[in-house]
Amino acid sequence: MHNPTALIVPIGPVHQNIDRAIETGEQLKRMVETLPHQISKLERMRGQIDNWFTSVHRLLHNSFSDPIFADQLSNSVSYKQLHLRGFSINDIEQASENASAQIERICGFLDHLKHDTIAMPFMSPSHGEDQTDQTNKPKDTNLDSVFVVHGHDNEMKESVARVISRLGLNPVILHEQPDLNQTIIEKFERHSDRAGFAVVLFSPDDEGMPRIPLDNGDQRPMQQRPRQNVVLELGYFLGKLGRDKVSVIRRGDLENPSDYSGVLYTPYDEQQAWKFQLAQNLKAVGYQVDANKLLK
């Protein structure tokens, strides 16, 4: 007998995440409705819609005991209309109306689902049993999950998370996980146990320079750097998982941590070769992935 769908994340965080997703969707809807007057922003709109839809799908997949709601969402949406694809410039107004209607449908779906969750049981993702103690560790999925360490580059983070999802794996992004009244470091330690691999994203978020001047007395130039938390978490996963299970993807010309010099970085390139390099790195350490999925 099939067990009824249950929450595997406490209802409070689920409702908060749904509310945020609806709020973002409503903002996107208003933006899309201006498309006929701002055609130059088409590609930007496509990217924002794609990021939003991916995050909504991931929310549904990570919050419930089976993927029924994520599947229902995918089956009810027209990809071309939502993502503003397959129309001529003469049909821009109709394309705008179609995309707006698709976003409104998704927001309505989420709002209805939020009310349905009130009567759902909460079950442990580890044991499949009703839980009142919410401090249990999440399921140790190891070769099903990949931890994503990131800075302020949201586009880079979402793009990498989409690739991990397309490979059939679960991207673990810390701020998307429930807090459960834990400190940041407690939450980080708890969820880092779920993944057998970490992808660390180096993006040019900060700037810095050594205080020691050059030999001629001039001040050293400022250099772009990843955020300090990203470097800290890189070191954590190098010690926890080993170098072969940590992949650093770098955007731009950055100053690298000195103790990590000589290690190969994967460039976040426009040709998107980084996607296939990541798949290759995952496969090399035992993940069951098919890089052909990235071609679809």
Domain residue extents for the chain: 11-119, 145-295
**pTM of structure:** 0.56
Residue 84 tokens read as 């503003």
* pLDDT tier for residue 157 given thresholds of 50, 70 and 90: very high
- Above 60 in pLDDT, residue 125? no
pLDDT at 254 over 80: yes
**CATH number for the domain whose boundaries are 145-295:** 3.40.50.10140
Residue 248: the pLDDT is 93
Can you tell me the mean pLDDT for 111-119? 93
Residues 222-240 have pLDDT tens digits of 888 899 999 999 999 999 9
Q: Long-range contacts for 212-217 (Cβ within 8 Å, ≥24 apart)? A: none
Mean pLDDT of the region 25-45 = 84
Q: Find, among 273, 41, 53, 9, the residue nearest to 161 by Cα.
A: 53
Return the structure tokens found at 80.
């071309």
pLDDT in tens, 181-209: 778 888 898 888 889 999 999 999 888 87
| Residues 227 and 152: beta-carbon distance below 8 Å | yes
